[in-house]
Chain A
Amino acid sequence: DVKVTQSSRYLVKRTGEKVFLECVQDMDHENMFWYRQDPGLGLRLIYFSYDVKMKEKGDIPEGYSVSREKKERFSLILESASTNQTSMYLCASSLFLVGGQTEAFFGQGTRLTVV
């Protein structure tokens, strides 16, 4: 069974802390994604990665960075956490096929609270 695992379900961090959110997939997918989800705004893409060591900015990259040193792992880093980064964070992965039509598989989400 396919699996995307996020390291924490719930996190509470202090303002100014450096925060690491980890995501691991076991499907050998090329593409991985980080989204944040806020009520009324749906899912907004922070960063995505086509392959190892490759990354692309999404719609809201400010205040975030990512790392993909291995194919199965995609990390989201909050350089200096702020209260407006309190949110649900969702990781996803998918195969890359020319022409698309491959779905994304999601982790269970990390609810981050910054105090």
Chain B
Amino acid sequence: AQSVTQLDSHVSVSEGTPVLLRCNYSSSYSPSLFWYVQHPNKGLQLLLKYTSAATLVKGINGFEAEFKKSETSFHLTKPSAHMSDAAEYFCVVRANQFYFGTGTSLTVIP
């Protein structure tokens, strides 16, 4: 069975400091993993995806995620937060359908 757990429902960081959004997954086989971002009143935009080619995945807007099979984790990071990063972030695992975490709301404090 596939599932995703986002460990924090809310994260607050100061502008210019690192961002860490945590995600653990459960998958019966080699997973396909994604991070999406949703800005207020907008649809979901793909940030990055894990395709098994490399464990460190680079995405848009300076975000990265590292796939750790031993820890069943796929945490999202960014070295320096920007005000425009304030949004809802979803970790997703794919089987025949997409399984979403409940989301992490990121607040960036000026």
Contact = CB atoms under 8 A, between A and B. Distances in A.
B32 A101 contact: yes
Nearest to A48: B97
Given A58-B97, A103-B34, A109 B42 contact: yes
B102 A33 contact: no
A41 B41 CA distance: 16
Interface residues of A, number: 25
19 contacts: A4-B43, A40-B9, A42-B90, A42-B101, A42-B102, A43-B90, A43-B100, A44-B100, A100-B94, A100-B95, A101-B51, A102-B32, A103-B34, A104-B46, A105-B46, A106-B45, A108-B42, A108-B43, A109-B42
Interface in A34-65: 35, 40-45, 48, 58
A102 B98 CA distance: 10
Contacts of B102: 40-42
Contacts of A107: 43
A92 interface: yes
Interface majority SS (helix, strand, loop, mixed), chain A: strand
Interface in B60-77: none
Interface residues on B, range: 20 to 34
A66 interface: no
Contacts of B46: 103-105
Contacts of A44: 100
A33 B42 contact: no
B51 to A, nearest CB: 5
Contacts of B11: none
B44 interface: yes
Contacts of A58: 97
B57 to A, nearest CB: 12
Contacts of B9: 40
